[in-house]
Structure 1
Amino acid sequence: MASDLNPRTTHYEFLGPPGAFLISIGVPIASYGLYFGCSESAGGCPPPLSLSVLFDSVIRAASNPAWWKGLWDTDASLLYLGWYAFCLVAWAILPGDAVEGSTLRTGKKLSYKINAFSTFLLALGITSGWILRNGPESFTFIYDKWVGLLTASLVMSVVQAVYVYAASFKPGKLLALGGNSGNFIYDWYIGRELNPRIGSFDIKTFNELRPGLILWVLINISMVCEQATRRGGFANVTDSMWLVLVFQTWYVADGLYNEPALFTTMDVTSDGFGFMLAVGDLTWVPFIYSLQARYLAFHPVELGPLGIAGVLAVNFLGYYIFRTANAEKNDFRNGQNPKNLKAMETKRGTKLLVSGWWGRSRHPNYLGDLIMGFAWSLPTGFETPITYFYVVYFAVLLIHRQRRDDEACQKKYGDDWTRYTKIVKYRIVPYIY
């Protein structure tokens, strides 16, 4: 029966409907706030205003219809739609292997087309050719049209969230266990359907990897071009800007190249697709994660040899932990164990790693992620705390994910999970947390 396959959700995340509503409003506010609170047009990062003057400025802007109209830019919206269409066409026409995902509650597995990395290379090739032919000043439009592009991504997120919510009521849909509460606001936010699709096109995994992640790199390239235009060419771009571009491009390329690893993540196997993932993929990732590059575009920072060496060391430490931890997990799941890691048997017949990185903490890959995030912010210097927003936000996000994952594992493994947590005591950071 459908009710057996799609039971009613009885446990809320994010404090339930009130929390879902506040986050749905809060994410757009924070996205605009991080621009107007850290931008050249606003006067700095943050603007040189007292809290009372800043508060009055916000009230005046919010009560002015012209300010609200200024958030919309038709040209920027068409550019964003063109970008999204490019990603769709690339997914459709570029060759790619078919990979099966995890087994669903129905006993079936979905097939996914793997060509995100090819799409990335195509986008980089076109962008590089355009810049080489027309100069860096030709690719600064993302900097110039930032607010309009941000607004377009938010509109796309809302439209997709409404569509997938409405489509989830068609017969035969497999719903997310956490998104079938019956409350419109909560289910719309958290995602009602587990794997919304149009034919073979999987909306959730497409958004996770292509439009937002690749746009993040293109935004960074635009910020490099903006700085190059102001400083007289690419030869005068600061070392800090190059580091941010290289670090974040490598991170994105690594994720896209290892696309099949996405299909075992909590986002794909457990979470539905609603406004939470839509706005996270399409708005938050490209426009918030690129904050460091946008700051450096109008506030250049020179690190020097020692500064470069220090930032590189921090980043490579984080990447080493992230990549080797994930390699250990993936090898073990695929029946390989080249490091002869120890594992604990469970009553379910599966095993849990208790040595290597996974013996030091339950989520060592999160530790690597956090260290890398810190390295991405270091090139901006220490004149403003705003460019370190990503690190703070990411820490909160990963702690929340870790707690959700631990809760799910407790239900899955029962007493075995309790025994496992006594062996692997630390959640993310060994000896600290």
Structure 2
Amino acid sequence: MSAVHQPFDRRGFLRIAGAVGLTAAAAACGGPSTSGATGPAAGPAQIDFSGVKPAPEITWWSNNPGGSQAVSQQIVDAFNASQKDTKVTLVTAGKDYEEIAQKFQTAQTGGSVPDLIVLSDVWWFRYYMLGSIIPLDSAIKAVGIETGDYRDQLLADYQYNNAQWAIPWARSTPLFYYNKAHWAAAGLPDRTPKTWEEFADWAPKLQSAVPGVQHAFQMPALAGYAGWSFQNLLWGYGGGWSKDFDVTCDAPEAVAAMQYLQDAAYKGKWAGVASVDSANDLSAGAVSATVSSTGSLVGILKAAKFDVGAGFLPGGPATSSPVCPTGGAGIGIPKSITKERQFAAATFLKFLTSPENTVTFAGATGYMPVRKSADVTALEAKSPLSKIAIDQLAVTRVQDRARVFFPGGDQEMAKACANILTQQKDPKTELTALKTALEKIYTNDVKPHI
């Protein structure tokens, strides 16, 4: 998850949804159960690909997350050279997930629809509710995609109503990055803190040992990352944004977690908030540590003029595992194109996420190899820190639904976090207001369509 979420907001989504008829589209999909994978046994209707031949040309829309355009084109070229049935064209359809989402949904009302589309963690369920992507199960079977070889946590992120709606591709988790020279100057052990409370003890030592540093810790830019990365702290304190579809962001545990961050910024004065990208702040040596996507790993290592350390996310007073959320993007196939194009798209999707190509993609970007059988020996030898990111996958947790299933939920979270962390507003008051906003989104924009 390295493309920053920009405010293509809930109204924008609903305006487009109204144009294509969200209610009818969701009904046509069979409508998900609120219990997710344990919903109706039948699930949505699957497409019959018997006797279908692949289309001669297809397009793949991407926003090139993590600076992935070059490596994606490399994989496209390899596919085109490997067979003569289908030619794939890579199209840069936006600078971030929101631009590509807006372009894709606008295309539903008339225009050129792609054959594969990048689905970010906070957008795929909206495509589902709109009925603009297909359940992939029959396509997976038709082209022989081995779902059992994909990392279970990453594949499960796109499962709903007993169907698979996307295949994991540019997948990431947050990592705790730190400046080893600053750590050494402060006399700290060469590792990440086990808990946030431990880091609160370390932070003053860092501030004293490295006088020129702006902050011991730089929080991610709130507009793009608050709802994602702060789940770690909320979970560590025993809270969360939500539990299933019940909004819980105003619970005492969540309030305590946000109070910790506010105190770090205003009382301890050892934490700041990035204006653009905390990974850049770390790479420049301006701060001692930050939390950023594994998709930032390659960029940080290239830019930093010091030894970079990385490790698992810290835990909290309630729990230390699993407190790391999954994130990033997968690939889906639109509903409104022909079976021939859908079949060709699935064929390329199999190639794109093959064990070999997932290693190639990970090596160029820092994203996770999504296949279990992927040989990561060379990748880890070249970049030992990538092993840490891969190992952390075993202790990841699926994101709270209020962030990934509620249209615009992550933006509401970002607003509340900004009020708490840049305006010093009362955490309890802001999180209570956030609960009201999230419950309104659920009642108006989610519940009627599931």
Relative to its length, the structure with more strand (as a share) is 2
Task: Give TM-score, length-normalised by structure 2.
Answer: 0.23
Which structure is richer in relative contact order (CA contacts within 8 A, separation 6 or more)? 2
Relative to its length, the structure with more helix (as a share) is 1
Task: Give TM-score, length-normalised by structure 1.
Answer: 0.24
